[in-house]
């Protein structure tokens, strides 16, 4: 349990978060100062964002006062960082890449690796499909590509698809002077 400061600076009731909610708070902390979309947050926290479990954890985090939520995404409040004991080290590019490799479907992870290997160059759909050994004409390729773009790991360019800067530079880039 963590004592939560009240608005007047004195301590109030203790807040105990379930392990899934703790994982959600830590995920936001490690990605700070970036704001994550709901989909990105769920992927980084390794939780499905649909259903009652996510909603329950989200309510707990909001009620505790740990969530800074805007139209552009989610991050932690100062109270959220206090809950973590301060600002955790941001995910390095390697940690972020390894994390996504572990949580994405195998085909999407293979496509991710192809984009990482080509960075900063883009790959056409056909080049990406060939590198991942996935036919670009089927729904599977589109599903995997959607996984990558929805999570901010790949973006479309005039010449094809490219790994995003956050994937290649990690959240730590944002902490650079």
Angle between helices 106-118 and 125-132 (to 10 degrees): 120
Q: Which domain holds residue 100?
A: 93-171
Residue 172 binned pLDDT confidence (cut-offs 50, 70, 90): low
* Residue 148: inside a domain: yes
- As a whole number, the mean pLDDT across the chain is 86
CB 112 within 8 A of CB 152: no
Chain Cα centroid distance, residue 8: 33
- Among residues 54, 83, 112, which one ends one of the domains? 83
What's the average model confidence in pLDDT over 89-107?
88
Domain assignment present for residue 88? The answer is no
What pLDDT is stored for residue 5 in this prediction? Answer: 43
Query: What pLDDT, on the 0 to 100 scale, is given for residue 174?
Result: 45
Number of structural domains in the chain: 2
Q: Are residues 75 and 14 in the same domain?
A: yes
Last-in-domain residue among 83, 108, 134:
83
Instruction: Give the separation between CA 165 and CA 82, rounded to whole angstroms.
Output: 29
Instruction: With a cut of 70, say whether residue 171 has pLDDT above it.
Output: no
Q: What is the pTM of this model?
A: 0.73
Q: Are residues 114 and 152 in the same domain?
A: yes
Task: Find the CATH number of the domain harbouring 25.
Answer: 1.10.10.10
> Per residue in 109-123, pLDDT tens?
999 999 999 999 999
Return the pLDDT at 15: 75
pLDDT (average), residues 69-91: 93
Residue 73 lies in a domain: yes
Out of 8-12, 89-93, 163-167, pick the least confident.
8-12
End-of-domain residue from the set 83, 104, 123: 83
pLDDT digits (tens, 9 = 90+) for 129-164: 999 999 999 899 999 999 999 888 999 999 999 998
């Amino acid at each position: 349990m963590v004592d939560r400061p009240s608005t007047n600076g004195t301590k109030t009731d203790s807040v105990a978060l379930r392990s899934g909610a703790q994982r959600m708070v830590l995920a936001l902390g490690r990605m700070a100062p970036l704001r994550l979309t709901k989909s990105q947050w769920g992927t980084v926290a390794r939780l499905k964002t649909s259903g009652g479990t996510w909603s329950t954890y989200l309510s707990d985090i909001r009620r505790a006062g740990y969530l800074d939520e805007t139209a552009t995404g989610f991050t932690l409040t100062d109270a959220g960082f206090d809950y973590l004991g301060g600002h955790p080290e941001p995910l390095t590019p390697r940690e972020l890449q390894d994390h996504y490799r572990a949580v994405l479907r195998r085909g999407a992870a293979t496509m991710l690796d192809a984009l990482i290997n080509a960075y900063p160059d883009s790959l056409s759909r056909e080049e990406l499909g060939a590198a991942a050994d996935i036919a670009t004409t089927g729904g599977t390729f589109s599903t995997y590509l959607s996984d990558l773009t929805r999570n901010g790991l790949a973006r479309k360019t005039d010449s094809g698809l490219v790994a995003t800067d956050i994937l290649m530079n990690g959240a730590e880039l944002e902490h650079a002077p």
